[in-house]
Amino acid sequence: MADAELHQELARLVGALAEHARAEVLRGEQWAVAGAVTGRGPALRAGTRGPAARGGAGPSGAAARPPSADASPARAADGAPRADAAPTARPERGVSQAALLAVREALGDCQRCGLHAERKQIVFGVGSAQAELMFVGEAPGRDEDLQGEPFVGKAGQLLTRMIEAMGLRRDEVYICNIIKCRPPNNRDPEPDEVASCEPFLRQQIEAIAPRLIVALGNFAARTLLRSELGITRLRGAFHRYQGIPLMPTFHPAYLLRNPEAKRPAWSDLQAVMAEMDRLGLPRRREGVDPV
Ligand code: SF4
């Protein structure tokens, strides 16, 4: 079978798995007891969609795409950012893990764009296949390229502290990048590289079906939202990506260089925590201001 046909077949299988997951969730919602869900066990996952149930580029980076209607910010009358999240189906644990593995299989030893030439390894993603919250950055850096895991350098350590400050563990969320291979000298990815790689991010999101996404940094936010606006204009309000509420915030690498931006970044994460609480999504403890 030719590469293109193999890719199409694997993509079809991923879609079929996700469809199966949605059917399973709908079946589960028929017996789920509203208001009874407080934990994260697989049996609770089936009906946890309703509120009762359940780099870095800094502001100077660029990723020009036409604006999209899917990128409209939402704020409540009091000015507080609101995700206004519509309930969506969620895969069962085994199904989402299998779907995620199928996406990785489809990616294979990818050579779909020129970034494959200088990479040490593909940096696919890390974390829970059942994550409610997903962090999406730009592309791997040197440390990530060497270790094969996203956000493992100093910026990654800061991201881990940010996640823990939210009352979560790193292994409870899912972390990945738009681009899976390191651009030479950490330059911004080119449009053709984004076009080649973003379909796999979309499939990852479809497999995991997170309730909320945080876009880390200018490039990630502008690319995902198809926006010409910079991160300083986009952050602070929920937008949508594939129908999922998305909060843009500063990239941890930018925060390392600009500590004064930690306060607004923490404000963004507080809005995400508030939305998680509103949706009934579990966190281990209250957020602790790390700034
Ligand atoms: S960046 Fe993405 S599309 Fe390009 S070679 Fe790597 S995995 Fe393939």
Tens digit of each residue's pLDDT (9 = 90 or more) over 187-207: 999 999 999 999 999 999 999
- Nearest residue (by CA) to ligand 1, atom 4, is 113
- Better-predicted residue by pLDDT, 82 or 216: 216
Give residue 148 CA to ligand 1 midpoint distance, Å.
14
Please give the share of the chain, as a percent, with pLDDT higher than 90.
Answer: 63
Task: Note the pLDDT tens digit of each residue in 1-17.
Answer: 555 565 566 566 655 55
Q: Residue 36 pLDDT more than 50? A: no
Ligand 1 site residues (CB inside 6 A) read 107, 110-113, 115-116, 122, 179-181, 193, 196-197
Q: Please check whether the domain covering 3-54+70-278 is classified as CATH 2.160.20.10.
A: no
Give the strand pairing for 212-216 and 133-137. parallel
Q: Residue 178 pLDDT more than 70? A: yes
Ligand 1 pocket, mutate which of 121, 179, 190, 219 (most atoms under 8 A from CB): 179
Q: What torsion do the CA atoms of 53, 42, 275, 199 make, to the nearest 10 degrees?
A: -130
Atom of ligand 1 nearest to the CA of 111: 5
Ligand 1 pocket, mutate which of 3, 104, 112 (most atoms under 8 A from CB): 112
> Is residue 249 helix, strand or coil?
strand
Classify each residue of 96-133 as buried b or exposed e, where b means 16 or more C-beta atoms within 10 Å of its C-beta: bbbbbebbbebbeebebbebeeebebbbbbbbbbbbbb
Give residue 197 CA to ligand 1 midpoint distance, Å.
5
Average of per-residue pLDDT across 138-161: 96
This prediction's pTM: 0.74
